Structure 1
Amino acid sequence: MSTNPLLKGTLQTIILKLLEDNTEMYGYEITQKVKEMTEGDILLTEGALYPALHKLEADGFLETFTQVVDNRVRKYYRLTEQGGKEVTNKITEAEAFINQLQTILSLKPAVK
C-alpha cells in the first residue's frame, strides 16, 4: 500500500465501495482499479489487500467464488446482503470523519 498511514484505516471502506460499484472483482483487479482511480497515488499491495479481503469475508460482508479464466482459476469477491448494508455504514462514518477532520484543520468552516 502507499506509504500514507492514513490509508490503513480506510482500506475496508475502499474495498466495500469498489465491490458495490462493480458487483464482483478479483484481487488484482481491485489493486489496478484503485491505482487507476487515484492516478497511481494509492498502490495497494497484496500484503495489505488480501488480509483485508479475508477479514471482510470472515465478518460476513463478502462471499467468494472461483472462475477459470484463460486456464487460470480466479477467486472473485462480491458483497453479501450484510456487506451491502456495511458499505452504507462505512461511507457514512468516513464522511463524518472527513468533515470533522476538515473542521479541525480549518479547511472549511463547520456547517450545522
Structure 2
Amino acid sequence: MEASKIIKGSMSAIILQLLQNNGRMYGYEITKAVRDGSRGKTKITEAALYPALHRLEEAGFLETESEIVDGRIRKYYKLNRQGKKETALQIDALKESILSLQKILKYKLKNG
C-alpha cells in the first residue's frame, strides 16, 4: 500500500501537528514539510491540502493571517487554543491506531 493512502486518513492530525511544531505556516510550507519529513516518500497535493485546511479553519481550530510577499497575498495558518487541544486529541488517536495496526500485523493464531 502506498504511504500516501495511509496519510490521507491522517491529514488533519499531520497538519495540526506540523502547525504545533512550527507555528504559523503557509500551504506550500506544509506540503514541503510532509515531503521533506518523509524523505520524499509522501506528498500532499494542493487539491488535498487546502480543503483539509479549510475544514480545520471552519471547525474553529485555526486562525489565518495574510501578508503580501513578492506582490502576492500569502495566507498563513496557525493553531488557536482550541486547535492545540484538538492536536493532542488527534495525535493520541493516531498513536492508538498505529499501536492497533502493529498488534494486528504481529498477531498469530494460537492453533495455527
User: TM-score, normalising length from structure 1?
Assistant: 0.89
Equivalent residue, structure 2, for 1:90: 90
Map 1:35-46 → 2, pairs under 5 A: 35-46=35-46
Count of residue pairs brought into register by the alignment: 106
Equivalent residue, structure 1, for 2:67: 67
Instruction: Give how far 1:3 is off.
Output: 6.8
Quick check: 2:4–2:43 contact (8 Å CA) kept in 1?
no
Matching residue's letter, 1:42: T
Quick check: 2:3–2:41 contact (8 Å CA) kept in 1?
no
Equivalent residue, structure 1, for 2:56: 56
Q: Percent identity?
A: 48
Corresponding residue SS for 1:54: helix
Q: For residues 76 and 12 of structure 2, what CA distance do their matches in structure 1 show?
A: 16
Instruction: Give how far 1:4 is off.
Output: 3.3
Q: Which runs of 5+ in 1 are unaligned?
A: 108-112
